[in-house]
């Protein structure tokens, strides 16, 4: 939603989260299927806690928190904001109920509506910046709500569909190698519009000439990798990746079933050979690239190439693993206060993904966006674009 007025952005963002949760029962919203995932109910509450704690408490005179006991339940990782309930135990929070959490959202939304009119008429840039950050933070949790409930449903033998509507067939795209001359390229967010702090400062990077795939690797191509014994050939894998394959017993991407069908948001569906492969770890992406006689692009190559004519499936199919470790850009400095904990402290042991996915809210992605996950993570909508 670029250039959307702040009140409209806030209303649309808050409403979209509720719409995403609407198909879920109270029992669905309580599920936490692994430590890295969170219940949908927690996502609804945490995004509300963010606005209450960082916007309303410091900027709306007379505001009283909805429940003094709740901040420790719905704080995620902000050490400077007090104690937190353990992340792996979020699924144990049967109280407050889903109805109470929705009442919490309504309470905070009403207070934000009271805050906005005077705020927009005053020179209170800090509060406006925090509200905008809160909207984009909530959009991140909208995608996580979908990835997390999909993982939870994958643990149910019934394999229920989040969305029972028919899935559309993927467009058939030929793979082409797009040439980039290399040289000194501008990297990072520049100009107007929102960006997270990890997207800057804008700076220059030197890249050698390279080629990059015009589209993402497809399910059919990845099935060929499996049939060729890709999960049985250690020479294709990074050492940590091979150890993970052995320890976890991986034989195919997450949610691929033994009969060749694939479980997704629309339930169990026949494999579409032309659809981008998803739910891959960084290790699997690297192994496939090695098998294909290619490699993963660096994040600088990806950003430099995404504007090339013919560069398809950039932001609305699957996040694309890069060969770049998640690290600060030259000159990066975390913001003062609690929001400084948003990105900087996670800049270790993770890989950068670029682009966006089918679950990324419209308008949320941009060429400079830096997503990041540990290399073994594969419950996200993550795929592969090749380079060489």
Percent with pLDDT over 70 in the chain: 98
Task: Give the pLDDT confidence of 325-381 residue by residue, as tens digits.
Answer: 999 999 999 988 888 888 889 999 999 999 999 999 999 999 999 999 999 999 999
Mean pLDDT of 68-97: 96
Delimit the domains of the chain by residue range.
6-154, 177-383
Q: Select the more confidently predicted residue: 4 or 145.
A: 145
**Overall fold of domain 6-154:** 1.20.120
Task: Give the pLDDT confidence of 184-199 residue by residue, as tens digits.
Answer: 999 999 888 999 999 9
Domains 6-154 and 177-383 share a fold: no
**Overall fold of domain 177-383:** 3.90.1580
- Confidence tier at 116 by pLDDT (50, 70, 90): confident
- Confidence tier at 125 by pLDDT (50, 70, 90): confident
| Residue 124, pLDDT above cutoff 90 | no
- Confidence tier at 167 by pLDDT (50, 70, 90): confident
Closest CA to 293 of 165, 177, 148, 126: 177
DSSP codes, 334-385: PPSSGGGGSSGGG-SS-EEEES-BTTSPTT---TT--EEE-TT--SSSEE--
How high is the mean pLDDT of the chain? 95
pLDDT at 1: 52
pLDDT at 8: 94
Backbone Cα Rg of the chain = 21
The residue count for the chain: 388
Given 3-state DSSP classes, what are the helix, strand and coil percentages for the chain, each rounded to the nearest 5?
40, 10, 45
Mean pLDDT of 132-151: 97
ω into 201 cis (within 30 of 0)? yes
pLDDT at 123: 52
């Amino acid at each position: 939603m670029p250039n959307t007025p702040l009140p409209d952005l806030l209303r649309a963002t808050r409403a979209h989260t509720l719409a995403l949760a609407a198909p879920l029962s109270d029992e669905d919203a309580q599920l936490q299927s692994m430590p890295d995932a969170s219940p949908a109910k927690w996502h609804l509450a945490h995004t509300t806690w963010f606005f209450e704690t960082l916007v309303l408490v410091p900027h709306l005179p007379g505001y009283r928190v909805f429940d003094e006991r709740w901040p420790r339940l719905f704080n995620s990782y902000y050490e400077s904001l007090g104690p937190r309930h353990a992340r792996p135990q979020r699924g144990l929070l049967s109280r407050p109920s889903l109805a109470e959490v929705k009442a919490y959202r309504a309470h905070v939304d009403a207070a934000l509506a009271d805050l906005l009119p005077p705020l927009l008429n005053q020179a209170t840039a800090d509060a406006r910046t925090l509200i905008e950050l809160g909207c984009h933070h909530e959009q991140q949790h909208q995608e996580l709500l979908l990835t997390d409930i999909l993982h939870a449903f994958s643990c149910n033998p019934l394999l229920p569909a989040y969305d029972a509507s028919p899935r559309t067939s993927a467009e058939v795209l030929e793979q082409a190698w797009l040439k980039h001359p290399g040289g000194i390229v501008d990297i990072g967010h520049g100009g107007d519009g929102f960006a997270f702090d990890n997207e800057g400062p804008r700076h220059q990077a030197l890249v050698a000439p390279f080629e990059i795939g015009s589209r993402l690797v497809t399910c059919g191509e990845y099935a060929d990798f499996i049939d060729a014994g890709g999960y049985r050939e250690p020479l294709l894998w990074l050492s940590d990746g091979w150890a993970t394959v052995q320890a976890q017993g991986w034989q195919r991407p997450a949610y691929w079933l033994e009969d060749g069908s694939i479980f997704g948001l629309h339930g169990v569906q026949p494999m579409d050979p032309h659809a981008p492969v998803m739910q891959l770890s960084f290790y699997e992406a690297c192994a496939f690239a090695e098998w294909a006689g290619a490699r993963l692009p660096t994040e600088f190559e990806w950003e430099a190439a995404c504007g090339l004519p013919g560069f398809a499936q950039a932001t609305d199919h699957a996040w694309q693993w890069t060969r770049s470790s998640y690290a600060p850009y030259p000159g990066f400095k975390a913001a003062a206060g609690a929001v400084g904990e948003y990105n900087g402290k996670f800049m270790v042991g993770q890989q950068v993904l670029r682009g966006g996915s089918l679950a990324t809210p419209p308008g949320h992605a941009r060429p400079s966006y830096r997503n990041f996950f540990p290399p073994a993570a594969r419950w996200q909508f993550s795929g592969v674009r090749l380079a060489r």
